[in-house]
Amino acid sequence: MRFVIVTGMSGAGKSTALKILEDEGYFCADNIPLPLVEKFAELSVMQENGHDRVALGLDVRSGMEIRKIQQVLERLVAREISYEILFLDAGDHVLLKRYKETRRSHPLARAGRIEEGIALERTVLQFLKEQADFIIDTSNLLTRELRSALEKIFVSSQEYHNIYITVLSFGFKYGIPADSDLVFDVRFLPNPFYVDDLKRKTGQDGEVQEFVMQTETARLFLEKLVDMIEFLLPNYVAEGKNQLVISIGCTGGQHRSVTLAEKLYERLGRHAEYGLRLEHREKKAWRV
């Protein structure tokens, strides 16, 4: 029996997560009254109902009553009812943007500013985030990427650490990505832009990748980069970091940075315990 409590910040994607879990065969319930949570969990663990995977959505739509869930969780432990907590989060600026786009009011700020509701909610839910088994930051995630992460955790039961890695290529001429955690400059590598046959291709093309990676310097840089990232990741996880943006830049974000981002993404892909995505920021500006 697998019993998952889906919670987190309003606007971070809890409803989407529940729909994904439901698609994967979970029996899902959302926002039931807190006094019924314990009874719901008790009935869920009984095999007679035919459900061996259950997900329950809980959030601040219950108002400040959500704080009482701590007592419920303690009683579940006392009754040896096991559960897992999935906490969905996103940056405040992302949540604010989502609320403004949908024109919905925040459940804790119906008569006030959305920013105030988000701040209060973050404080109220901190105890749940601290107890969470899995934390997923959806700030930069597409729905399919969230689905992939949830399938990895709750369907395939693969080991999963609470960190989602974005490997991002960019061009310095357009500015450094504001959300970067680590920035690497690969403008020291040979530039395919000055080769006529490669100028209008990108780092996603094999010919460009071969040109960029032909030197010992490029190959050694990639090895040292991978080694450093693999060293840092478990330390970031231990620190509680759940979102890591690794930005790799060249002049225009078309050749060298794209090549190294592709290669790094490929190498990190062997670590199934981490969420991973690849993005080329300047793709719209490519000359192809």
Q: How far apart are CA 7 and CA 74, in angstroms?
A: 17
Q: What is the pLDDT of residue 18?
A: 96
Q: Which residue has the tokens 């969420």?
A: 275
* Token code pair at residue 62: 């219950």
Q: Which of 285, 218, 212, 277 is nearest to 254 (CA)?
A: 285
Q: pTM of this prediction?
A: 0.72
Considering Cα of 243, then 123, then 36, then 84, what sign does the dihedral take? Answer: positive
69/58 Cα distance (integer angstroms) = 9
User: Got the DSSP string for 170-213?
Assistant: EEGGG---TT-SEEEE-TTS--GGGSTTTTT--TTSHHHHHHHT
Give the Å distances, CA to CA, from 191 to 40, 53, 261: 61, 53, 15
Taking only the tens of pLDDT, the chain with its 288 residues reads 899 999 999 999 999 999 999 999 999 999 888 888 888 888 877 765 557 889 999 988 876 678 888 898 999 899 888 999 999 999 999 999 988 887 777 888 766 788 888 998 999 999 999 999 999 999 888 898 899 889 988 888 777 777 889 999 999 999 999 999 999 999 999 999 999 999 999 999 999 999 999 999 999 999 999 999 999 999 998 888 888 999 999 999 999 999 999 999 999 998 878 889 999 999 987 865
**Tokens, residue 127:** 């105890």
Tokens of 69: 């869930």
| Residue 123, pLDDT score | 92
Q: Per the structure block, which two tokens stand in for 64?
A: 């400040």
Q: What is the DSSP letter of 239?
A: H
> What is the pLDDT at residue 275?
86
Domains of the chain: 2-154 (3.40.50.300), 165-285 (no CATH)
Q: Is the CB of residue 90 less than 8 Å from the CB of residue 12?
A: yes
Distance, in Å, from the CA atom of 262 to the CA atom of 100, rounded to the nearest integer, reads 35
Q: How does DSSP assign 245-257, residue by residue?
A: EEEEEESSSSSHH
Any idea of the CA torsion for 77, 82, 86, 87, to the nearest 10 degrees?
0
Q: What is the pLDDT of residue 184?
A: 98
How large is the C-alpha radius of gyration of the chain? 22
H helical segments located in 79-215? 92-102, 114-124, 126-131, 143-154, 206-212
| Both structure tokens of 236 | 């970031």
